[in-house]
Amino acid sequence: MEGDDVVLEVSWCRQLVGRAEKEYSAMVDGLLEENEQLEGLLGLLTRQLDNIADGFPAQELESPAAAQAAARAGAQVSLHLDELLLQRGEELRRARAEQVLLQHELREEVLESRNCQRRYECSLEELAAAPAAEYSDDFDADQASPRTLVERLRVAERSRADEARRRELSEVRCALVERRCQDT
């Protein structure tokens, strides 16, 4: 049924949004982890600079040996920091590209879902507007046989059932249109 397709597509869209939210959460967790690593590198740099300062008396901090030791320590920290930043930058680029792709797919699915919902509404409208079972009003009860009366009763029951079904379909269509209006 077409209505089941709309429900399935809406369900699929919700799952897609759920996955996107999980991936976004993972990205935020990654950024927090990166922040902790940067704090660790800052602590390492601080310790190395303290070690350099401890290894030289106050008047020798300006000496060439102290400058070389500081340069080596700075180069090590800088190397670690560069590696970390390159790695995180690449991860963030991949995550951003995937996020853009997922958002595009979600937009496409939302549009397709809306299109299916509109088609479903139109189908319901057509079903609700379908003519009821025809029966003749020029019926003469005095000349009718029992078989004709039974057939006439069946036609009347089908007509009432068809009318009730059309009312139900109209109510469903109205509910769908109302929900679509609220969503937009």
Reading the block at residue 10, the tokens are 């809406």
Instruction: List the domain boundaries for the chain.
Output: 2-129
Whole-number pLDDT of residue 156: 85
The pLDDT tens digits for 106-158 are 888 888 888 877 888 787 777 767 665 454 455 555 566 777 878 888 888 88
Whole-number pLDDT of residue 179: 78
How open is the CA angle 169-171-177, to the nearest 5 degrees? 100
Helix intervals (H) in 130-183: 146-183
Angle of helix 64-129 relative to helix 146-183, nearest 10 degrees?
150
Whole-number pLDDT of residue 138: 53
Burial category of 97 from C-beta neighbours within 10 Å (exposed 0-12, middle 13-18, buried 19 and up): exposed
- Global pTM? 0.42
Whole-number pLDDT of residue 61: 57
CA of residue 15 relative to chain centroid, distance: 6
Q: Which residue in the block uniquely carries the two structure tokens 């930043």? A: 85
Below-70 pLDDT ranges, the chain: 1-10, 52-62, 66, 128, 130-144, 184
Reading the block at residue 30, the tokens are 């990654």
Whole-number pLDDT of residue 15: 81
Whole-number pLDDT of residue 118: 81
Tally of CA atoms within 13 A in the half-sphere of 87 that contains its CB: 12
Tally of CA atoms within 13 A in the half-sphere of 175 that contains its CB: 6
Burial category of 118 from C-beta neighbours within 10 Å (exposed 0-12, middle 13-18, buried 19 and up): middle
